[in-house]
């Protein structure tokens, strides 16, 4: 909850996702001497199981399945292995930059890139989900409550890859069970991806992780489905405790284009666009009908294009009445159900969360890439269950709170007054920030005075808008 100062003074910002530490048993720590020295406050708390995952299980599997020589495969992963696999990590990192080619290759089809993703990008992407699960504990509570009620925690992971988001969830569930002295509920995962090899890698990782901890043994089932995520109609469970979608909208257009082939003419292109719109409508209708418990969590890159695709999806879901036009339809990041002011234009809704990702080999690869990875950068949308009886609406935001959607406009080095942008329906507004105040993108604040408008963005519906584009 936001901490309130004495009257007549501005409220201290609530740091993005802050929440109380659960009571109970002391957990294994992933803190290092270096992390304790850092002055910035990190959002995510990584469970002890995280180090088993990223320093033991994943490197061992990668070496046993992807080493070029049989004589290497049964030996422990060491610095020489890190040097060998770092080339692929560097090449894959270049593909993932903002300057990526218009036709991103199917990197999971290449053993070099599968191993690179497992060693480095799986921990990096999983850390974003760990952060979001910590930022929104009420959504995790709703997920668990549905699992308790139904007897099984049913989780769909779309575009799962090696089960990146699912692995983040399972280490948090274990962490919570240990803290509260409870058992982990029975969990059933359904993973969907177009590449069967990476699904198999991820399933083996999950099985080995669960085998290390008595509370997880025999409690977790993974079913894999080799198909595009947008072709899942007919294969979905009746209802779910949580739906996870990581980096699927970002690659949706080019992936669909690869499966359909080029349009023969303009009329064919329009027909395909309309067909895609109808398919998207059916898909979201089915997903939302099954989304109980914690709803649907979508996580995308922090780039402008990815973020604005996500914002456009949000607006379309409200406008077309897929979800009630209430703030309680969203766990985050939005505090209102109005039109997103950052769905178009030069600014976009994304977050940079201070983070210290534990892991010997993750840090080794980060150093080789010349990046300390002190920030988890992403855009996201967490939809609450739209069912008024079987789902769990998000809590109503406290009146007067606003989300900060920019860093100080004067820059962090500015010694004088600065400003930040606050999110309002259909527009952003400015709020002055004093030089000594540490207000960051994503914080929740109470504006100290009415702020002048920036550029209002009125809703204008485009009849030809492809809302999955």
Residue 229 belongs to domain spanning: 33-397
Domain finish residue from 352, 381, 397: 397
Q: Tell whether the model's pLDDT for residue 180 goes beyond 50.
A: yes
Instruction: Give yes or no: residues 389 and 410 share one domain.
Output: no
Neighbours of 234 (CB within 10 A): 6
CATH of the domain at 184: 3.40.50.150
Residues 147 and 278 in one domain: yes
Model confidence pLDDT, tens digit, residues 64-106: 999 988 878 889 999 999 999 999 999 999 888 755 555 567 8
Q: Are 249 and 366 in the same domain?
A: yes
Task: Tell me whether residue 17 is in a domain.
Answer: no
129 shares a domain with 45: yes
> Phi first, then psi: what are they for 324, rounded to 5°?
-60, 140
**Poorest-confidence range of 85-94, 182-191, 263-272, 457-466?**
457-466
Does residue 27 lie in a domain region? no
Number of structural domains in the chain: 2
Task: Please check whether residue 167 lies inside any domain of the structure.
Answer: yes
Domain co-membership, 135 together with 265: yes
Helix (H) or strand (E) holding 192: strand 187-193
Last residue of a domain, one of 353, 378, 397: 397
172 domain-assigned? yes
Q: Is the confidence at residue 5, as pLDDT, over 60?
A: no
pTM assigned to the model: 0.83
Residue 26 has pLDDT above 50, yes or no: no
Based on the domain organization, do 76 and 204 belong to the same domain?
Answer: yes
Burial of 298 from C-beta contacts in 10 A (0-12 / 13-18 / 19+): buried
Q: Is residue 258 scored above 50 in pLDDT?
A: no
Whether 123 and 365 have beta carbons less than 8 Å apart is answered as no
Q: 342 and 446: one domain?
A: no
346, 381, 397 - which closes a domain: 397
Do 113 and 237 reside in the same domain of the chain?
yes
Percent above pLDDT 90 for the chain: 56
CA 35 to chain CA centroid, Å, is: 23
Whether residue 328 sits in one domain with residue 181: yes
Please write the tens of the pLDDT for every residue from 401-443: 999 999 888 655 555 568 899 999 989 999 988 777 888 899 9
The answer to whether residues 365 and 332 belong to one domain is yes
User: Is 356 found in the same domain as 207?
Assistant: yes
Give the integer Cα–Cα distance in Å for 209 and 203: 10
Higher pLDDT, residue 275 or 127: 127
Q: In terms of pLDDT, which residue wins out, 105 or 190? A: 190
Is 21 part of a structural domain of the chain? no
Together in a domain, 248 and 341: yes
Residue 183 near residue 153, CB atoms below 8 Å: no
Asked if the structure places residue 16 within a domain, the reply is no
Position 283 in a domain = yes
In a domain, 1, yes or no: no
State the number of CA atoms in the 13 A half-sphere of 340 facing the CB: 27
């Amino acid at each position: 909850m936001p901490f309130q100062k004495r009257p007549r003074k501005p409220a201290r910002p609530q740091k993005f996702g802050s929440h109380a530490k659960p009571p109970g048993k002391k957990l294994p720590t992933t803190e290092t001497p270096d992390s304790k020295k850092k002055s910035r406050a990190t959002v995510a708390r990584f469970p002890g199981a995280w180090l088993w995952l990223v320093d033991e299980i994943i490197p061992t599997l990668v070496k046993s399945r992807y080493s070029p020589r049989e004589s290497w495969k049964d030996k422990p992963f060491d610095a020489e292995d890190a040097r060998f696999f770092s080339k692929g990590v560097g090449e894959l990192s270049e593909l993932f930059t903002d300057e990526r080619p218009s036709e991103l290759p199917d990197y999971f089809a290449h053993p070099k890139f599968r191993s690179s993703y497992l060693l480095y990008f799986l921990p990096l992407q999983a850390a974003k989900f760990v952060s979001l699960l910590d930022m929104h504990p009420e959504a995790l509570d709703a997920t668990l409550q549905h699992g308790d009620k139904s007897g099984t925690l049913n989780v769909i992971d779309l575009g799962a890859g090696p089960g990146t988001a699912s692995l983040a969830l399972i280490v948090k569930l274990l962490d919570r069970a240990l803290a509260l002295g409870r058992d982990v509920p029975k969990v059933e995962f359904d993973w969907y991806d177009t590449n069967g090899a990476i699904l198999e890698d991820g399933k083996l990782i999950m099985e080995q992780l669960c085998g290390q901890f008595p509370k997880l043994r025999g409690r977790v089932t993974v079913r894999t489905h080799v198909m595009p995520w947008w072709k899942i109609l007919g294969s979905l469970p009746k209802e779910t405790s949580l739906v996870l979608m990581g980096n699927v909208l970002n690659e949706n257009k080019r992936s669909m284009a690869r499966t359909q082939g080029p349009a023969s003419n303009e009329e064919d292109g329009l027909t395909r666009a309309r067909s895609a719109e109808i398919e998207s409508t059916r898909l979201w209708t089915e997903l939302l009908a099954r989304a109980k418990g914690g709803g649907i969590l979508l996580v995308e890159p922090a780039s402008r294009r990815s973020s604005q695709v996500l914002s456009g999806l949000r607006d379309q879901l409200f406008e077309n009445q897929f979800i009630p036009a209430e703030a309680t339809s969203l766990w985050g990041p939005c505090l209102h159900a109005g039109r997103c002011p950052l769905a178009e234009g030069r600014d976009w809704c994304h977050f940079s969360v201070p983070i210290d990702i534990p892991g010997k080999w993750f840090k080794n690869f980060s150093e080789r890439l010349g990046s300390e990875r002190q920030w988890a950068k992403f855009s996201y949308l967490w939809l609450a269950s739209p069912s008024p009886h079987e789902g769990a609406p998000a809590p109503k935001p406290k009146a007067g709170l606003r989300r900060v959607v920019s860093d100080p406009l004067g820059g962090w080095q500015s010694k004088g007054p600065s400003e930040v942008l606050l999110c309002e329906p259909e527009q952003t507004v400015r709020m002055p920030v004093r030089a000594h105040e540490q207000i960051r993108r994503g914080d929740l604040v109470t504006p100290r005075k009415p702020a002048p408008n920036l550029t209002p963005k009125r809703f204008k519906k485009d009849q030809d808008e492809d809302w999955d584009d």
